[in-house]
Structure 1
Amino acid sequence: MPLEYHPLSREFPDQQNALRSLMQSNAHFSRLAEEYQTLDKRIYEAEDGLANMDDLQLQGLKLQRVVLKDEIAGLLKTADS
């Protein structure tokens, strides 16, 4: 299976306008999105062998990414309402 990044634009393809709007108008959302992108990059690098990380650490990062994604999804849902 090829490695790939999981950018928010791919995770929420139907909410591009809301993503852009919240990135510009909501500092909390922007911080969450930045944290998500940083985690996604670290996970990709670990899976690709560019960064040394044991499986437990990698799973911890993936769990953090899921928690951030859930919080971002909630904010996007609120923005659509």
Structure 2
Amino acid sequence: MSHVPHELAAEFPEAVDKIHDLKLNNAHFAKLADAYHEVNREIHRIEAEIETTSDAYAEELKKKRLALKDEVAGFLNA
């Protein structure tokens, strides 16, 4: 189990500037990035055993994070 948070800048290091620009200039992307950050932080707290939850809920969060990451990637590749 990884205890390293999957921040967008770490997931897309080649697109850090584009992520920043999109957050400032695209309201939908900004909401998407915020949602990703929120879900990602919750997963990190669970993996670091700061919070406890069921395995099913943790897996649901990971699927949600992946879907958000895919949507972010779509913006970055557009």
TM-score (ref. length: structure 1): 0.92
- Structure 2 matches for 1:1-81, cutoff 5 A? 3-78=3-78
The letter for the 2-side match of 1:38 is E
| Residues 2 and 47, structure 2, Cα contact 8 Å, conserved in 1 | no
Q: Deviations over 1:5-32 (max 9, x none)?
A: 0100000000111111101000000000
Please report the RMSD computed on the Cα atoms of aligned residues, expressed in angstroms. 1.0
Aligned equivalents of 2:56, 2:21: Cα separation in 1: 36
**Aligned pairs, how many?**
78
Aligned equivalents of 2:2, 2:15: Cα separation in 1: 26
Spell out structure 1 runs of 4+ moving beyond 4 A: none
The letter for the 2-side match of 1:13 is P
Structure 1 gaps of 5+ residues are: none
| Residues 23 and 29, structure 2, Cα contact 8 Å, conserved in 1 | yes
Q: Deviations over 1:16-73 (max 9, x none)?
A: 1111110100000000000000001100111111112110000000000000000000
